[in-house]
Amino acid sequence: MGLQKIVTAFFSATGNTEKVVNILAEHAVRRLQLPLETYDFTAHKNQGNRISVNENTLLLLGMPVYAGRIPNKILPTVQAMFCGSNSPMMAVVTYGNRGYDNALRELCEISRQNGFCVCGAAAVPSRHAFTDALALGKPDENDIHQLRRSMDQVIDIILQKKEQPWVDEIIHVPGKWPLDSYYVPLDIQGKPANFLKAKPKTRTEDCTLCGLCAEKCPMGSIQIKDTVHTEGICIKCQACIRYCPKRARYMDDSAFLSHVEMLEQNYKETKQPEFFYQGGEKHGFYVIK
């Protein structure tokens, strides 16, 4: 028995990861002519669900990279949310042009521990959440072409399996295992920039109290009755800033702004997507065991 369904799942605070996963899914649906189910667990209210994926379903799982890993406040959700039955899947991370460090390795390992057979993986540069000066316009047309080709490669790997369960072969991806600490943000002087407690502020004269920031906050930290303040945990995803129709939300923390300046100065050269498949070899990359 072959594939019967495609499932996409993603956390995408500013839309980059959703876009990349959708490109892959649309191509897979066209080629395989299978139904598609989508689980967007960006919203706080959707993060407590449990999703079981059987062996006849292809999962496309996408996450953004925060400080070189899966966002720490969303990590427990990813670890507990998805349950496979030796199910084929593709792991995808998007990052803002600095680097994806251990994030793709982490997502692959979590997926394998949760019962999935990782047939392919991708790391895709996308517009940085902090600034439009990095990777603006990514993924571009060439990237989209590569994403479709990578989806074809994953599909071919699955279709070439003569029988189930899927064989969980070695896939080579960058990253360390066991994982080390998160990337330490640096300021323009190259020193650690601590902005963990920084939160967006609101220009009250511009805010229309539309409530969109409260709707978009993945941590549920902005209340619809008081959208001027961010009372709970802020993961610096920038969703409230990016989606505000009046540009009333902003960051003014000096350490945060210095880190953004450092990124803009040192990571101007746009990077290209990287793809990894079962059975593939890539010199210098760690091996998932």
DSSP 53-89: E-TTEEEEEEEE-BTTBS-TTTHHHHHHHEEESSEEE
How many C-beta atoms lie closer than 10 Å to residue 67's C-beta? 17
The three-point CA angle 231-237-243 to 5° equals: 85
Quickly list H helices, the chain. 16-32, 75-81, 103-113, 141-159, 212-216, 239-243, 254-266
DSSP state of 136: T
Measured CA to CA, the distance from residue 37 to residue 22 in angstroms comes to 11
The whole-number pLDDT of residue 204 equals 93
Q: What is the pLDDT along the chain (289 residues), one digit of tens a residue?
A: 589 999 999 999 999 999 999 999 999 999 999 999 999 999 999 998 889 999 999 999 999 999 999 999 999 999 999 999 999 999 999 999 999 999 999 999 999 999 999 999 999 999 999 999 999 999 999 999 999 999 999 999 998 875 666 666 778 899 988 887 899 999 999 999 999 999 999 999 999 999 999 999 999 999 988 988 899 999 999 999 999 999 999 999 999 999 999 999 999 999 999 999 987 644 333 333 3
Buried b (16+ CB within 10 A) or exposed e, 112-144: bebbbbbbbbbbbbbbbbbbebbbeebbeeebb
Domains contained in the chain, CATH given:
5-181+269-277 (3.40.50.360), 201-252 (3.30.70.20)
Both tokens assigned to 207:
């805010």
Instruction: Locate 133 and state its tokens.
Output: 């000066």
**How many Å apart are CA 168 and CA 44, to the nearest integer?**
33
Three-state DSSP state, 200: coil
Query: Whole-angstrom Cα distance, residue 237 to residue 251?
Result: 11
Q: How far is CA 173 from CA 39, 134, 255, 281, 286, in A?
A: 25, 24, 32, 9, 6
pLDDT of residue 286: 33
- Alpha carbon distance, N-terminus to C-terminus of the chain: 28
Q: Enumerate the β-bridge partners of residue 82.
A: 51
Spatial CA neighbour of 250 closest among 193, 187, 204, 285: 204
Name the amino acid, one letter, at 250.
Y
